[in-house]
Amino acid sequence: MRRRDALALAGRLGSASMVAALGGHGAWRSLAPQDQGSDSLLGRPLRVGYLPITDASALLIAHERGLWAAADVASAPPVLFRSWDALGQAILVGEVDVVHMLMPMSLQLRIAASAPIRVIAWGHTNGSCMVTAGPEPSTGAQSRARAPELAGGRLAVPHWWSIHSALTQRLLSSWGLRPVIGTTAGPQEVELVVMPPAEMVAALAGGSIAGFTVADPFGALAELQGVGHVSRLLGDVWRDHACCGLVVRQELIDSRPRAVQGIVDGLIAAQAWLEGNRGRAASLLTSGGYLPQARSAVERALERPAPARASHPDWHGQRLGFSAFPHESYTTALVDMLGRTGVEGDRSFLEGLDPARAHRELVDDAFVRAALERTGAPVPQRTEEVGP
């Protein structure tokens, strides 16, 4: 199968019926050449895929600072993708080995489409926001100010299977607005559309959308360009939620478990470095060519000050967080939330889905646990806090 044919096929594999017709797991085979000759535990350089958002910071820093190489997993220069669908296709056909992927998207691919992928760690927490057109209001409660700005308009999200879409719909409903998909919004409705993150700021400036919800630095970029303002940080809606997980193919876990351990070790080292070097990280990510946005936007995203108005100021939702352990409580809450979230496409796999089973099938936390055990650190405890 030629690579372009494989990518075209993968683009159609979001349907569970298509996957079943192709034979379930057996249809998902690696189509990329397996290069040899490296001293790396992987037997070749690690291939990394990412979207140009600050959510990818830990992956990019792990490569840039040689933290994967220090864990005996040499890495090739990360490959930039422009949309979540393109990134998903790349990991499904084996073009790349590891990606950061939207947690709802990874859940949908794993459970509904039987894709042999696993979340082996969280890449980060928080880091996303809702942006609406125009300058920030000077007065009024934050949540109440949003309804008149968005009513009857269009709001973009990066993917139907994203925490951005789920929390946006939750917020709109709390403001008395009805989210609609595939139809023009009425006076008390907001039409949701999917748009690649890289296109959102221009669309907001051009007036084709009234707002968007996405990962930074696009919220910071809209603010710096004066075309929009951050009206709600998603970390102020769901405390320390995981937007993206670190995803690999199951065959990599089965055939190269020591290499997967090195991938997780390098990620954790990168997260620790990022926590104490946010300003320096912004410089590395932009001067190194990883993120195409202005350094000022990336700095603003990584070092965002606390907002003047927040529903839960003690949650510190403005900060992109770095936590690797993939908690079952989060997966459980995510399954419940997605059950009440509209999408364009089949969502029947969520009916009667046992959250514990979903977590077991999606997440493999053995490598993070092994890293914690080596340092003597306990498994972190967590209670999900989701507010209005």
- Residue 120 φ then ψ, to 5°: -105, -5
pLDDT value of residue 18: 28
The predicted-structure confidence for 316-371, as pLDDT tens digits, reads as follows 999 999 999 999 999 999 999 999 999 999 999 999 999 999 999 999 999 999 99
Positive/negative CA dihedral, 110, 116, 120, 123: negative
- Provide the token pair at 142: 């934050």
Q: Tell me which DSSP letter residue 275 carries.
A: H
pLDDT value of residue 134: 83
Percent of the chain with pLDDT over 70: 87
- In whole angstroms, what is the distance from residue 308 CA to residue 321 CA? 20
Domain annotation for the chain: domains and CATH numbers: 48-126+240-377 (3.40.190.10), 128-136+145-239 (3.40.190.10)
Contact at 8 Å (CB) between 275 and 54? no
pLDDT value of residue 141: 44
- In whole angstroms, what is the distance from residue 136 CA to residue 257 CA? 49
- In whole angstroms, what is the distance from residue 128 CA to residue 134 CA? 19
Is omega for the bond preceding 326 within 30 degrees of 0, making it cis? no
The predicted-structure confidence for 265-306, as pLDDT tens digits, reads as follows 999 999 999 999 999 999 999 999 999 999 999 999 999 999
- In whole angstroms, what is the distance from residue 296 CA to residue 298 CA? 6
pLDDT value of residue 136: 75
Angle of helix 257-276 relative to helix 278-287, nearest 10 degrees? 120
- In whole angstroms, what is the distance from residue 30 CA to residue 6 CA? 10
Any idea which residue has 């908690």 for tokens? 327
- 100 membership: H or E segment, kind and range: strand 98-102
Helix then strand then coil, in percent of the chain rounded to 5, is 45, 15, 40
pLDDT < 50 positions in the chain: 1-37, 140-145
- In whole angstroms, what is the distance from residue 102 CA to residue 133 CA? 25
- In whole angstroms, what is the distance from residue 176 CA to residue 179 CA? 10
- Provide the token pair at 74: 């040499």
Alpha helices in 226-256 (DSSP H): 250-255
- In whole angstroms, what is the distance from residue 263 CA to residue 268 CA? 9
Burial of 206 by CB count in 10 Å (0-12 exposed, 13-18 middle, 19+ buried)? exposed
Q: Which of 348, 354, 363 is nearest to 336 (CA)?
A: 354
